Amino acid sequence: MAVPEVLEQVSRRDRVRADTVREIKQTARRVLVEQGEEGLALRAVARAMGMTAPGLYRYFDSREDLVEHVVADLYTELCDDLEASCAAADPGTPAQKLMAASRTFRRWAMGHRHEFGLLFGDPADDVLRDRALQDGPAHEAKERFGALFGALITQLYVSRPFAVRPEEEIEPELRAQLGVCAEMFPAELPLGVVEVFLSCWIRLYGMVCMEVFGHLQFALDDAEPMFEAELHRLGESLGIGEEYRRP
């Protein structure tokens, strides 16, 4: 057999394998949405695809391996949406990009509740928690997500410095941890900026998390106005309150 023919066969096998892997991950996501994380088992995915569970092991080493790749794809999808919203912000100031990304984060979460739970909920599986700390597709995709918001807050502070606590006023136990966290930012920043960033993230993430998991229904039928009010207050704390515009 000629070398070009051999290469073509190899290339065809690679394409078929890539298509199968893609279909498996898409099916796993569908199972996740329909049955929740507890129902995301290799047997359920195989049954939905008309395959045998052992057949899936030709593509993924374990359930955890499959979930890790699904998580990586979800983070990639979310990051792509966040970056697109920042690129479309008009005007394209750091403040408008930050607000656009915040709204997109909430919108994605509300439109993908089960996926959000897999990414940002408490992992029920110790193996998944351990794998999240290792290098791999999920770890890299998660770092991209964190770097995106880190870059936005850096751009904002560099262009319009906001008030932060002097380093000597930050509690020593907190100061040490902020120093480690500061390494994720693309530029060297005062530790007070890192503290403000974490405070804003806690408020943004906390608001979205409570809405996704239904913990605001006791008070709010529609949490969007409260989210917008909170976003406005966050803008004021960052010195960009005057740039807030309702969508």
CA distance 173 to 164: 18
Last residue of a domain, one of 13, 35, 60: 60
Residue type, 22: R
Query: Which of residues 27 and 36 earns the better pLDDT score?
Result: 27
pLDDT in tens, 173-206: 999 999 999 999 999 999 999 999 999 999 999 9
Q: Which residues contact 231 (CB under 8 A, 6 or more apart)?
A: 99, 102, 103, 204, 244
CB 153 within 8 A of CB 105: no
For the entire predicted model, the pTM comes to 0.88
Residues 49 and 94 reside in one and the same domain: no
Q: Are residues 54 and 9 in the same domain?
A: yes
CA dist 138 to 141, 143, 156, 191, Å?
Answer: 5, 9, 28, 28
Asked if the model's pLDDT at residue 148 lies above 70, the reply is yes
Determine the average pLDDT of the residues in 228-232: 97
pLDDT at res. 36: 83
CB within 8 A of 181, min separation 6: which ones? 194, 198
Can you give the residue range of the structural domain that contains 18?
1-60
- Mean pLDDT of all residues belonging to the chain: 89
How far is CA 28 from each of CA 56, 81, 114, 118, 215, rounded to the nearest angstrom? 11, 21, 12, 12, 27
**Closest C-alpha among 120, 186, 138 to residue 158:** 186
Asked if the model's pLDDT at residue 212 lies above 70, the reply is: yes
Q: Based on the domain organization, do 54 and 67 belong to the same domain?
A: no
Q: What is the pLDDT of residues 83-116, one digit of tens each?
A: 999 999 999 999 999 999 999 999 999 999 999 9
- Give 138's pLDDT tier (boundaries 50, 70, 90): confident
Q: How many domains does the chain have?
A: 2
Confidence of residue 127 (pLDDT cuts 50, 70, 90): very low
> Do residues 61 and 55 make contact, with C-beta atoms less than 8 angstroms apart?
no
Q: What percent of the chain has pLDDT over 90?
A: 70
User: Based on the domain organization, do 213 and 130 belong to the same domain?
Assistant: yes
